[in-house]
Structure 1
């Protein structure tokens, strides 16, 4: 049995915790909502109310990390669009991770898995691998990359970075927000998505195979155009069709998951995403 702490039991963290418990592990899970504590407890998770702020961290963080060998950080930056912070003191997500690190250092955690995003690559017109130099364009991508670097450079623990593409699942799909909209851009840009089930499976593989001090990209091996894919999904779900601009896109980014498949010996689930 491994003792694991999951910082952020949300859309991905909660079902991940359930899977890890099913496989015989003990899981501490955090939430920022007091109302969610009973939900975590009912799932067999040791529940903790932990608020990670740019100025401070909840006192419960020490107990949350106590005795854990592995920490999974799955908290989104929650930064909107291209908002830019010229002052380093305003880099809120980076400061949250910076405040967290000393607590990891003095705990028994020796392995950290940081859930990041392929947004750190920006809109490069290329086949993207883990060897591609990140070039984030959004504030969220910029702060994720800085957080990655802080964790990777720390010598007190080993960090694996897991960069997911667009997250989808049975209760989460971008077509619902695109339905009925007009003049959408980047019609012929490719999609880079990953299903919740694959996210959980890959995290399990990293833990069971002890793949630390690594960087992995993770998206499904299918890359239709935005117009083709979202039009088809709208029809399947009987939603109003999205309408795309005829203007050609110069974004042809394809994220490669070859490393996940070869190093972890992982096969993506065959799903009609």
Structure 2
């Protein structure tokens, strides 16, 4: 029997993930907030739905969407910057309530290594969360919301910074000066390895678990981003010579590597 997967949020990660799942003969249902993208999803073989989450309500075909799937991948990042700030945890509480009334039995919740905050040294899944940003704090709350519901099997993936086609963090840093912590290690993961991790978790049935998703190569920020800027032909970011010898945070994907699985795609584009 074909497993039915739902992806809430068919954006930069969700859309290619959906296409990869279809190639592996999963039945995929996906959401978008835009009517304009329905045809794009449909043409890719994704069963499309318009769903929009806010802190006060969920607009669109949420129950139709949830009624068609066995497993839900929640790929909705907090958007707590700028003028249109809304409570992420309020959105997740509304979503959780809808899930409780559906046939969904498994959840993969996409989170972030931001939940660890500014700790130093090696960080594994056993490291306590110490978020120092509002998005990190609300992600921790959302993780717990789903993890503590014993009626639904939830696995959390905390991805590092995302890199891949048409997405390179150096483009946001290009030309900036006076940046700090240039000696801190980077914690990035390529889009292809994000997809690889999610599909591996589905295929192996790693439910009720926690995974860090970071490629095991951690050069210093100033070295890596200078090299990336040169490759792209854009101005490199300029870092201060920090007197702070804090070693920074190195996130290790211990659970995934111990199983054992490998990462396949270099972050050096």
- Name the TM-score, length of structure 2 as normaliser: 0.95
Query: 8 Å contact 1:219–1:256 — kept in the other structure?
Result: yes
CA contact (8 A) 2:54 2:86 kept: no
Aligned residue pairs total 265
For 2:212 and 2:52, the matched residues in 1 are separated by 28
Q: What SS does the aligned partner of 2:126 have?
A: coil
Distance 1:179 1:100 in 2: 37
**Are the equivalent residues in 2 in contact too, given 1:186–1:248 (CA < 8 A)?**
no
Quote how far apart the aligned CAs of 1:74 are.
Answer: 0.1
1:230 correspondence with 2:231: no
- Residue correspondence of structure 1 range 243-254 to structure 2 within 5 A: 243-249=238-244, 250=246, 252-254=248-250
Which runs of no fewer than 5 residues in structure 2 stay unpaired?
A: none
> Which secondary structure does the structure 2 equivalent of 1:151 belong to?
helix
Q: Are residues 1:200 and 2:201 paired?
A: no
Residue in structure 1 matching 2:146, options 125, 143, 151: 151
Instruction: Select 2:258's aligned residue among 255, 262, 267.
Output: 262
Q: Is the 8 A contact 2:215 2:266 kept in 1?
A: no
Equivalent position of 2:136 in the other structure:
141
Aligned to 1:15: 16
CA distance in 2, matches of 1:9, 1:59: 15
- Alpha-carbon deviation of 1:60? 1.0
3-state SS of the aligned residue for 2:146? helix
Output one character per residue of 1:178-227: Cα deviation in whole Å (capped at 9) or x when no partner.
11111111110110000000000000000000100000001001111111
How far did 1:101 drift? 0.9
After TM superposition, give the deviation of residue 170 of structure 1 in Å.
1.7
Q: Secondary structure at the match of 1:246?
A: coil
Whole-angstrom distance in 1 between the partners of 2:216 and 2:210:
18
In structure 1, the gaps of 5 or more residues are 84-89
Residue 59 of structure 1: CA displacement? 4.6
Alignment deviations for residues 90-128 of structure 1 (CA, whole Å, 9 cap, x no partner): 971000010011211111110000000000000101210
Q: Is the 8 A contact 1:127 1:256 kept in 2?
A: yes
- What corresponds to 1:4 in structure 2? 5
Q: Which whole-Å CA distance do the structure 2 matches of 1:272 and 1:189 have between them?
A: 16
Which one of the candidate residues 110, 120, 124 is aligned to 1:129?
124
